[in-house]
Amino acid sequence: MILLEIKALSVTFPTATGAVQAVRSVDLQIEKGAIHGLIGESGCGKTMTGMALLGLLPKGAQVAAEVFRFDGMDLATQAAYLRGKRIALISQDPAAALNPVLTIGRQMDDVLRTHRTQPKAARQAVAVELLAATGLADPVELLNRYPHQLSGGMQQRVVIAQALATGADFLIADEPTTALDVTVGAQVLALLRKLVSERGLTVLMITHDMDVVAAVCDRATVLYAGLSVEEGPARAIMGRPHHPFSAALLAALPDAVPRGHKLAAIEGRIPSPTQAITGCAFAPRCPSCLPVCPDTPPPVRGNSDHRWACHLDKGAR
Amino acid sequence: MTNPILDVTDLVVRYKPRGLFVPPPRPAVNRVSLGLPAGTTLGVVGESGSGKSSLLRAILRLVPVESGSVTFDGRDWLALRGADLRSARQGIGVVAQNPFLSLSPRLTIAQILSEPLLARGDRHGSDLRDKTAALLLRCGLPPDFLPRRAGELSGGQAQRVAIARALALGPRLLVLDEPTSALDVSVQAQILNLLMELKADFGLSMLFVTHNLKVVAHIADRIMVMQQGVVVEAGPTEKVMADPEQLYTRELMGFGRDFARSRS
C-alpha cells in the first residue's frame, strides 16, 4: 500500500528580487513499512520537502503539487492536522530538540498528554514502555533525569521515543545520525530498522550520507537543485546509479578510488535557487552532457521500480 | 630515514578539576606518543571525548601539558617562550573545521590572507598583493575573489581561503582539524584533492584529525586511532584498514556500503 504519494511538489518563496525556488519538482512514492532515503547535498531541498510534509514551512512559502497525498488525505490542507497524529519528526540535533530545563519524564508526558486521554499513572507506564522500546536501560530512573545528563545517543533515543509517543506511524528523520559519533549513529540506525519492523512504521530518511542510505534504506530518491533526478531501490542506486549526478556523488566518496589517487570531484556549483532552469539542471556540471541537455528538460527513463530523468538513453557511464 | 618533523613522547594533558574537593579527572590525553616523518601525513581518528582535539591543542601550545615532550623541527617545542615561540609557530599552519567561523566575516579575502604576512613584518604594497593573489590561485581561486568577503563564498571556496591563509607563512607542518566535516561530499573531494596536491608540491607534513575513518584512510600514510585519551591502534594506513587489530577500529569503519554488501 502506498502511504505517501507526492508528484511535482514545489516550494517557492516570493522575494523582492524574484522567486526563490527551494523545491522545484519533487516526486515521492513511499510504501507502508519502508524506509525511504531522500538523498542530496546542501541546498537541494531535502529538508524543505520534509517541512512541507509536516506543514512547518516558514511564513510566505508557496506550496504547489499535482499530487500531495498521505493515506488518502490531502496534505495541502491536512498537514497541520496529521502532524503529531500520523506524522512526526526526528531532527538532527537531539540536544536542541529537547528542553534543557525539564526532566525527560515531564517532556515525555507533555507529548502523551497532548495526544492521548489517559490518567497520569497510565501515561507514565506508557512513557516507560516507549523509553525501554528505544533501548534505553533503566527507563524508570531516566524519567527524573535532565537532557544534559544523557549522552548524544541516549538523547536521540529519547527523541525517537517522543516521536512514538505521539502515536505517529510515519516518521521523518532529518539527518538523525549526523550529530552523533559513528558507532553511536550505527546503533540509532539499527534501532530505527528494528522499530520499523516491530511497529509497522514508515520512515522518510533525509540524509546526505550514502552510507546511511546503504545501511538502512529500502528505496531512495536522489535530489538535485530541488528536483528528483533518480528514484529506485537503495541497493540499485548504490550499486549502479543511472543518473550522472547520482553516479558523480558516489564517485566523489573518499573510498571510491585507491588511497592517494585523485578523487572525482564534481566541478562547479549547484544552480542558484532564483535561477530558472530550462533544460537539465545538472547539465553544466555533467561529464556526459549532450548538446540537447542544457535547453530541453530530460525525459524520465526506466520503469516504475527504478526511474531517472536523463537524456542519455543508457544512463550514466 | 629522515628525522621526524614532529615527535611527541608520552604526552599527558589533564584539565583542572571542577571544584576544590573534586578528584582530578582522567587525563584527556594519556601518554600519547607519535612520530611524523617529514613529508608524510598522519591521520588521527577518534570520536567525541577521544582526546584528539586535546592532543591537537597541546601540540599547538593552546592548552598546558602535564608531562611528556614535543619536538618540532628539531627544537624542544614545549620549552619555547615569548618571541621564540611566536616565530617558531610560523612553521605550523592550522585549518579548522568550519571556515565561516575561522574566517572573519568583516574582512575581505585580501585582508584575511595578508594578515599573517603583515604580522610577520611584511609591508603593504604590490609585493603583498602579488603574494596573496598567488596564494589564493595556488588554492584554486582566481584573484577576483580578493575583494570579496567570506559570507559571499560557498563552503568549499571558504575552506580554500582558510587553507591559503594557513600556507601564507610557508609552514612545514599543516594541522587540519576536521577540515572537510562541514562540507558536502562533492566539495570534500575537491578539498582532499587540493590537500594532496599541496602536500606533493610543497613537501608538507600533515596532521589530519577527524572522526571519519574513510576520509583519513584516503589521505593519510599512517593512522592513529584514539579512544578515551589513549592510542588504541596505530600503523600504516593499508595495514590498519585491511586488518585492524582492534574491534573498535572496525566499528569506526562504521556502517554503510560495505555493510550493505554483506547484508542481503
Render pLDDT for A27-60 as a digit per residue (tens, 0 to 9).
999 999 999 999 999 889 999 999 999 999 999 9
Interface test with A, best of B45, B52, B153, B186 (most A CBs within 10 A): B186
What's the mean pLDDT in A157-161? 97
| CB burial of residue B251 (10 Å; 0-12, 13-18, 19+) | middle
Q: Which of B202, B210, B107, B116 is nearest to B150 (CA)?
A: B107
**pTM of the predicted model as reported, rounded to 2 decimal places:** 0.89
Q: Could you tell me how many CB contacts below 8 A there are between chain A and chain B?
A: 100
Q: How far apart are the first and last CA of chain B?
A: 47
> How far B54 CA lies from chain A's nearest CA (Å)?
17
d(CA A148, CA A299): 51
Q: What Cα–Cα distance (Å) separates residue B238 from each residue in B215, B216, B219, B262? A: 13, 11, 11, 21
What's the mean pLDDT in A79-89? 92
Q: pLDDT-based confidence at B259, cuts 50/70/90?
A: very low
- Find out whether A121 and A143 touch, Cβ atoms under 8 Å: no
Q: pLDDT-based confidence at B261, cuts 50/70/90?
A: very low
d(CA B264, CA B259): 10
A 117-156 residues with CB < 8 A to B: 152
Angle between helices A120-133 and A152-165 (to 10 degrees): 130
Interface test with B, best of A212, A250, A253 (most B CBs within 10 A): A253
A 31-90 residues with CB < 8 A to B: 41-42
* Nearest-CB residue to B259 (from A185, A214, A249): A214
Q: pLDDT-based confidence at B3, cuts 50/70/90?
A: confident
Q: List CB contacts (< 8 A) between A212 and chain B.
A: 255-256
Asked if B237 is an interface residue toward chain A (Cβ–Cβ < 8 A), one would say: yes
- Residue B260: pLDDT over 60: no
- Residue B264: pLDDT over 60: no
Whole-number pLDDT of residue B2: 61
How many percent of chain A have pLDDT more than 70?
99
Asked if B256 is an interface residue toward chain A (Cβ–Cβ < 8 A), one would say: yes
Query: What are the pLDDT digits (tens) for B161-176?
Result: 999 999 999 999 999 9
What's the mean pLDDT in B34-45? 95
Query: What are the pLDDT digits (tens) for B112-134?
Result: 999 999 999 999 999 999 999 99
Q: Which of A263, A310, A268, A264 is nearest to A288 (CA)?
A: A310
* Nearest-CB residue to A263 (from B189, B252, B259): B189
More confident residue, B256 or A108: A108
What's the mean pLDDT in A97-113? 96
d(CA B23, CA B210): 30
Interchain pair B217, A253: CB under 8 A = no
Nearest C-alpha in A relative to B247: A183
Query: What are the pLDDT digits (tens) for A212-255?
Result: 999 999 999 999 999 999 999 999 999 999 999 999 999 999 98
Query: What are the pLDDT digits (tens) for B218-248?
Result: 999 999 999 999 999 999 999 999 999 999 9
Domain A2-86+168-309 has CATH 3.40.50.300: yes
d(CA B86, CA B201): 26
Domain B4-262 has CATH 3.40.640.10: no
| CB burial of residue B216 (10 Å; 0-12, 13-18, 19+) | buried
Q: pLDDT-based confidence at B257, cuts 50/70/90?
A: low
- Residue B79: pLDDT over 50: yes
Residue A78 Ramachandran class (φ > 0 left, ψ -120 to 50 alpha, else beta): alpha
d(CA A125, CA A74): 35
Any idea how long chain A is? 317
Q: How many helices (H) and strands (E) does chain B have?
A: 11, 10
Q: List CB contacts (< 8 A) between B217 and chain A.
A: 254-255, 259
Q: All 3 cell numbers of residue B229?
A: 585519551
Whole-number pLDDT of residue B19: 78
Amino acid found at B213: L
- Residue B207: pLDDT over 50: yes
| CB burial of residue A190 (10 Å; 0-12, 13-18, 19+) | middle
Alpha-carbon A39 to chain mean position: 7
Encode burial over B13-34: b for 16+ CB neighbours within 10 A, e otherwise.
bbeeeeeeeeeeeebbbbebeb
Quick one: three-class SS letters along chain A? CEEEEEEEEEEEEEECCEEEEEEEEEEEEEECCCEEEEECCCCCCHHHHHHHHHCCCCCCCEEECCEEEECCEEHHHHHHHHECCCEEEECCCHHHHCCCCCCHHHHHHHHHHHHCCCCHHHHHHHHHHHHHHCCCCCHHHHCCCCHHHCCHHHHHHHHHHHHHHCCCCEEEEECCCCCCCHHHHHHHHHHHHHHHHHHCCEEEEEECCHHHHHHHCCEEEEEECCEEEEEEEHHHHHHCCCCHHHHHHHHCCCCCCCCCCCCCCCCCCCCCCCCCCCCCCCHHHCCCCCCCCCCCCCCEEECCCCEEECCCCCCCC
> How far A75 CA lies from chain B's nearest CA (Å)?
31
What's the mean pLDDT in B39-49? 93
- Residue A139: pLDDT over 90: yes
Asked if B215 is an interface residue toward chain A (Cβ–Cβ < 8 A), one would say: yes
Structural domain spans, chain A? 2-86+168-309
Asked if A264 is an interface residue toward chain B (Cβ–Cβ < 8 A), one would say: yes
